[in-house]
Amino acid sequence: MSRPDTQTRPDIYARVTDAIIADLERGTRTWTRPWSAEHLAGRITRPLRHNGEPYSGINVILLWSEAVTRGFNAPTWMTFRQALALGGHVRKGETGSTVVYANSISRTETDSDGRDIEREIPLLKAYTVFNVDQVEALPGQFYATVEPQLDPQQRIAHADAFFTATGAEIRHGGDSAYYAMHPDYVQLPPFECFADPESYYATLAHECTHWTRHSTRLDRDFGRTRWGDEGYAREELVAELGAAFLCADLGLELTPRDDHAAYIQSWLKVLRDDKRFIFTAAAHAQRAAGFLHGLQGQSLAA
């Protein structure tokens, strides 16, 4: 029973992290293009399961990366068997994409006093899914698209209401965006200083993800002691992923920050040193996004 724990799991961690490192080395952030071509399921959305439920955590990043790399327009993914159950079939010659799920096994061990104790062993398992663009003969709604109906004002109003409902203190002024930990407020330049509304709300999502790290909220701490150290880089990656998740949930295009090139180098070091951290970062980002959703009485599907 221990073989999957010692062999399969590290392989998954390394495979996923190496793919993301390759993207970052090309200057591409896997999570910057979470949108489809006016698909009926939503132009901007998280990746969706066959039943319409959104993926979470590391699977969001994995499937966004696959969609960008392979040119998929549909946001929906399913297993080979799910496609068959829906009356469809995976097109011959297509290769699937990897997603993962956490599980555990129970193991009985003997302690130093000779007593049997139950120990939970965490496992990370992988399975394969296919994008709807790779599947034929599904019901029509899986392929349906809609005419572009862009209404920036409505989307911005929705985002404004979302961040207001968090209760975070948001100050405006100056030319810097940051979260001040001990005074506990978010600082942003004035709205009119941003290139477009999406940039403003993407930045706000990033800083509000930082806001969740406070000890009275999620109490997230990577041992950061100074600007630019490894703990700083780890927290910045969590905030970056949190912003990507939130922008997808709010239907907003995530635009790269001006300083993203410098961050990429620090993220590369962290990911090369720790093949598991992208999973940890995605999990923290998921919790942060869920926390902010929960402040307005909403729940995010797992």
Of 2-16, 75-89, 131-145, 166-180, the poorest mean pLDDT is in: 2-16
Confidence of residue 32 (pLDDT cuts 50, 70, 90): low
Q: Which residue's entry shows tokens 């930082």?
A: 210
Contacts (Cβ under 8 Å, ≥6 apart) of 204: 159, 163, 170, 186, 188
3-state secondary structure 108-159: EEECCCCCEEEEEEEEEEEEEEEEHHHEECCCHHHCCECCCCCCHHHHHHHH
* Amino acid 150: pLDDT: 43
What's the pTM? 0.78
Question: In 10 A of CB 171, how many CB atoms?
Answer: 11
**CA 186 to chain centroid:** 22
Taking only the tens place, the pLDDT of each residue in 100-130 is: 988 777 777 777 777 777 877 777 889 999 9
Give the model confidence (pLDDT) of 228-277 as tens digits: 678 889 999 999 999 999 999 998 887 666 556 667 888 898 999 998 99
Least confident of 7-11, 79-83, 226-230, 272-276: 7-11
The answer to whether 271 and 17 are in contact (CB under 8 A) is yes
Portion of the chain with pLDDT greater than 90, in percent? 48
| Average pLDDT of the chain to the nearest whole number | 84
Q: Residue 122 CB: number of other CB atoms within 10 A?
A: 10
Closest CA to 52 of 27, 77, 25: 77
Radius of gyration of the chain (CA): 21
Backbone angles phi, psi at 153, to 5 degrees: -65, -40
Taking only the tens place, the pLDDT of each residue in 162-217 is 999 999 999 998 878 999 999 999 999 888 888 788 888 999 999 999 999 999 99
| Predicted pLDDT at 228 | 63
Distance CA 288, CA 217 (A): 9
Q: Are 218 and 265 in contact (CB under 8 A)?
A: no
Q: Do 198 and 253 meet the contact criterion of CB atoms below 8 Å apart?
A: yes
